[in-house]
Amino acid sequence: MNMKEKIAARAAREIKDGAIVNLGIGIPTLVADYLSDQKEIFLHTENGLLGVGPTPSDGEEDPEMINAGKLPVTAKTGASYFSSSESFGMIRGGHIDVVILGALQVAQSGDIANWAVPGKNILGVGGAMDLVAGAKEVIVTTQHCARNGEPKILKNCDYPITAKNVVNTLITEYAVFRFKDGQMVLEELADEITEPQLKQITPANYTISPALSRYVT
Protein backbone atom coordinates (compact mmCIF):
# COMPACT_ATOMS: atom_id res chain seq x y z
CA MET A 1 0.00 0.00 0.00
CA ASN A 2 1.56 3.30 -1.07
CA MET A 3 1.20 6.63 0.74
CA LYS A 4 -1.88 7.79 -1.16
CA GLU A 5 -3.59 4.43 -0.76
CA LYS A 6 -2.88 4.54 2.97
CA ILE A 7 -4.61 7.91 3.26
CA ALA A 8 -7.58 6.71 1.20
CA ALA A 9 -7.96 3.54 3.27
CA ARG A 10 -8.01 5.57 6.49
CA ALA A 11 -10.57 7.98 5.05
CA ALA A 12 -12.84 5.09 4.07
CA ARG A 13 -13.15 4.18 7.75
CA GLU A 14 -14.76 7.55 8.44
CA ILE A 15 -17.82 6.87 6.29
CA LYS A 16 -20.92 5.68 8.10
CA ASP A 17 -23.42 3.14 6.85
CA GLY A 18 -26.08 4.68 4.62
CA ALA A 19 -24.08 7.83 3.80
CA ILE A 20 -24.23 9.66 0.48
CA VAL A 21 -20.63 10.62 -0.31
CA ASN A 22 -18.97 12.77 -2.97
CA LEU A 23 -15.33 11.96 -3.75
CA GLY A 24 -13.10 14.71 -5.13
CA ILE A 25 -10.22 14.41 -7.58
CA GLY A 26 -6.92 12.79 -6.56
CA ILE A 27 -6.58 10.78 -3.36
CA PRO A 28 -10.35 10.89 -2.68
CA THR A 29 -11.10 8.85 -5.81
CA LEU A 30 -9.11 5.95 -4.27
CA VAL A 31 -11.51 5.80 -1.32
CA ALA A 32 -14.03 3.87 -3.43
CA ASP A 33 -11.69 0.86 -3.45
CA TYR A 34 -11.48 0.67 0.37
CA LEU A 35 -15.12 0.89 1.40
CA SER A 36 -16.39 -1.84 3.70
CA ASP A 37 -18.65 -4.49 2.18
CA GLN A 38 -20.51 -4.42 5.49
CA LYS A 39 -21.81 -0.91 4.84
CA GLU A 40 -24.24 0.39 2.24
CA ILE A 41 -22.63 3.59 0.99
CA PHE A 42 -23.81 5.67 -1.97
CA LEU A 43 -21.07 7.43 -3.93
CA HIS A 44 -22.09 10.55 -5.82
CA THR A 45 -20.33 12.35 -8.66
CA GLU A 46 -21.36 15.83 -9.76
CA ASN A 47 -21.53 14.96 -13.44
CA GLY A 48 -24.63 12.90 -12.69
CA LEU A 49 -24.29 9.49 -11.05
CA LEU A 50 -25.35 8.19 -7.64
CA GLY A 51 -24.12 4.67 -6.99
CA VAL A 52 -20.51 4.79 -8.18
CA GLY A 53 -18.73 1.45 -7.76
CA PRO A 54 -15.06 0.47 -7.49
CA THR A 55 -12.46 1.47 -10.06
CA PRO A 56 -12.76 -0.80 -13.12
CA SER A 57 -9.98 -3.30 -13.86
CA ASP A 58 -7.56 -2.57 -16.71
CA GLY A 59 -9.29 -3.32 -19.99
CA GLU A 60 -12.75 -3.21 -18.40
CA GLU A 61 -13.22 0.56 -18.63
CA ASP A 62 -16.33 1.97 -20.30
CA PRO A 63 -15.51 5.31 -22.00
CA GLU A 64 -19.03 6.52 -21.27
CA MET A 65 -18.70 5.83 -17.54
CA ILE A 66 -16.56 8.51 -15.94
CA ASN A 67 -16.58 10.66 -12.83
CA ALA A 68 -16.27 14.45 -12.66
CA GLY A 69 -12.49 14.12 -12.91
CA LYS A 70 -12.86 12.21 -16.21
CA LEU A 71 -11.60 8.99 -14.63
CA PRO A 72 -13.29 5.66 -15.46
CA VAL A 73 -15.74 4.33 -12.88
CA THR A 74 -18.24 1.53 -12.50
CA ALA A 75 -21.87 1.74 -11.42
CA LYS A 76 -23.37 -0.45 -8.72
CA THR A 77 -26.65 -2.29 -9.21
CA GLY A 78 -29.47 0.23 -8.72
CA ALA A 79 -27.34 3.27 -9.59
CA SER A 80 -29.14 6.41 -10.71
CA TYR A 81 -28.17 8.71 -13.59
CA PHE A 82 -29.21 12.36 -13.85
CA SER A 83 -28.17 15.73 -15.27
CA SER A 84 -25.40 17.89 -13.85
CA SER A 85 -27.97 20.51 -12.87
CA GLU A 86 -29.89 17.94 -10.82
CA SER A 87 -26.63 16.78 -9.30
CA PHE A 88 -25.80 20.29 -8.13
CA GLY A 89 -29.34 20.60 -6.84
CA MET A 90 -28.53 17.67 -4.55
CA ILE A 91 -25.30 19.35 -3.44
CA ARG A 92 -26.74 22.81 -2.86
CA GLY A 93 -29.86 21.37 -1.26
CA GLY A 94 -27.86 19.72 1.53
CA HIS A 95 -28.43 16.13 0.39
CA ILE A 96 -24.75 15.08 0.43
CA ASP A 97 -23.70 13.66 3.79
CA VAL A 98 -19.94 13.66 3.29
CA VAL A 99 -17.53 15.22 0.82
CA ILE A 100 -13.92 14.02 0.68
CA LEU A 101 -11.58 16.52 -0.98
CA GLY A 102 -7.92 17.02 -1.67
CA ALA A 103 -6.24 20.26 -0.64
CA LEU A 104 -3.36 22.52 -1.54
CA GLN A 105 -3.43 24.04 1.95
CA VAL A 106 -5.46 23.73 5.15
CA ALA A 107 -5.44 26.29 7.97
CA GLN A 108 -5.70 25.59 11.69
CA SER A 109 -9.14 27.25 11.67
CA GLY A 110 -10.50 24.73 9.16
CA ASP A 111 -10.08 26.94 6.09
CA ILE A 112 -9.31 25.06 2.87
CA ALA A 113 -7.53 26.20 -0.30
CA ASN A 114 -7.76 23.70 -3.14
CA TRP A 115 -8.52 25.41 -6.42
CA ALA A 116 -5.77 27.86 -7.44
CA VAL A 117 -2.00 28.25 -7.14
CA PRO A 118 -0.78 31.86 -7.42
CA GLY A 119 1.14 32.42 -10.63
CA LYS A 120 -0.25 29.36 -12.39
CA ASN A 121 -3.13 29.00 -14.83
CA ILE A 122 -6.53 28.90 -13.17
CA LEU A 123 -8.85 26.28 -14.66
CA GLY A 124 -11.83 27.10 -12.46
CA VAL A 125 -13.02 26.13 -9.01
CA GLY A 126 -15.21 23.25 -10.24
CA GLY A 127 -17.72 21.94 -7.72
CA ALA A 128 -15.49 22.40 -4.66
CA MET A 129 -17.10 25.59 -3.34
CA ASP A 130 -20.59 24.13 -3.69
CA LEU A 131 -19.56 20.86 -2.05
CA VAL A 132 -17.89 22.31 1.03
CA ALA A 133 -20.85 24.66 1.53
CA GLY A 134 -23.56 22.05 0.97
CA ALA A 135 -22.19 18.83 2.48
CA LYS A 136 -22.91 17.96 6.09
CA GLU A 137 -19.32 16.81 6.72
CA VAL A 138 -16.05 17.80 5.03
CA ILE A 139 -13.07 15.42 5.11
CA VAL A 140 -9.75 16.50 3.59
CA THR A 141 -7.25 13.90 2.39
CA THR A 142 -3.80 15.15 1.44
CA GLN A 143 -0.13 14.40 1.74
CA HIS A 144 1.30 16.27 4.70
CA CYS A 145 3.73 18.35 2.63
CA ALA A 146 3.87 19.52 -0.97
CA ARG A 147 6.22 17.92 -3.50
CA ASN A 148 8.82 20.59 -2.81
CA GLY A 149 8.68 19.86 0.91
CA GLU A 150 6.69 22.96 1.83
CA PRO A 151 4.14 22.43 4.65
CA LYS A 152 0.50 22.30 3.63
CA ILE A 153 -1.04 22.54 7.12
CA LEU A 154 -0.61 26.15 8.15
CA LYS A 155 -1.72 28.81 10.58
CA ASN A 156 -3.28 30.64 7.63
CA CYS A 157 -3.63 29.69 3.96
CA ASP A 158 -1.44 31.59 1.49
CA TYR A 159 -3.42 30.41 -1.55
CA PRO A 160 -6.89 31.60 -2.56
CA ILE A 161 -9.45 30.25 -0.10
CA THR A 162 -12.11 27.81 -1.25
CA ALA A 163 -14.09 28.16 1.99
CA LYS A 164 -13.50 29.20 5.60
CA ASN A 165 -14.01 27.13 8.74
CA VAL A 166 -15.50 24.13 6.93
CA VAL A 167 -13.08 21.22 7.46
CA ASN A 168 -14.24 18.63 10.00
CA THR A 169 -11.49 16.02 9.59
CA LEU A 170 -8.02 16.16 8.03
CA ILE A 171 -6.20 12.94 7.11
CA THR A 172 -2.58 12.78 5.94
CA GLU A 173 -0.09 9.91 5.77
CA TYR A 174 1.15 10.89 9.25
CA ALA A 175 -1.86 12.02 11.22
CA VAL A 176 -5.58 12.45 11.67
CA PHE A 177 -6.78 15.85 12.92
CA ARG A 178 -10.29 16.92 13.84
CA PHE A 179 -11.55 20.47 14.09
CA LYS A 180 -13.59 21.03 17.25
CA ASP A 181 -14.89 24.27 18.72
CA GLY A 182 -12.44 26.36 16.70
CA GLN A 183 -9.44 24.19 17.58
CA MET A 184 -7.41 21.73 15.54
CA VAL A 185 -6.94 18.50 17.51
CA LEU A 186 -4.46 15.71 16.80
CA GLU A 187 -6.40 12.45 17.20
CA GLU A 188 -4.15 9.83 15.56
CA LEU A 189 -0.41 9.58 14.87
CA ALA A 190 1.33 7.19 12.47
CA ASP A 191 3.92 4.73 13.78
CA GLU A 192 6.71 6.12 11.61
CA ILE A 193 6.66 9.60 13.14
CA THR A 194 6.87 11.11 16.61
CA GLU A 195 4.81 14.08 17.73
CA PRO A 196 7.87 16.41 17.86
CA GLN A 197 8.73 15.36 14.29
CA LEU A 198 5.14 16.01 13.22
CA LYS A 199 5.27 19.47 14.75
CA GLN A 200 8.38 20.32 12.72
CA ILE A 201 6.42 19.89 9.48
CA THR A 202 3.15 21.36 10.78
CA PRO A 203 3.25 25.15 11.28
CA ALA A 204 -0.42 25.14 12.34
CA ASN A 205 -1.17 25.29 16.04
CA TYR A 206 -2.95 22.21 17.33
CA THR A 207 -3.77 20.51 20.59
CA ILE A 208 -3.23 16.83 21.33
CA SER A 209 -6.23 14.70 22.22
CA PRO A 210 -6.01 12.99 25.64
CA ALA A 211 -7.15 9.87 23.77
CA LEU A 212 -4.40 10.11 21.10
CA SER A 213 -4.13 6.77 19.34
CA ARG A 214 -2.07 5.14 16.62
CA TYR A 215 -3.08 5.61 12.99
CA VAL A 216 -4.90 2.50 11.73
CA THR A 217 -5.88 1.99 8.08
Residues marked as catalytic: 46
Q: Which of 165, 193, 192 shows the shortest CA–CA distance to 179?
A: 165
Pairing type for strands 49-52 and 75-81 reads: antiparallel
CA–CA separation, 22 and 49 (whole Å): 10
Q: What is the dihedral of CA 213, 29, 131, 35, to 10 degrees?
A: -50
CA–CA separation, 91 and 108 (whole Å): 26
- Contact between 76 and 52 under an 8 Å Cβ cutoff? The reply is yes
Q: Which of 107, 94, 82 shows the shortest CA–CA distance to 133?
A: 94
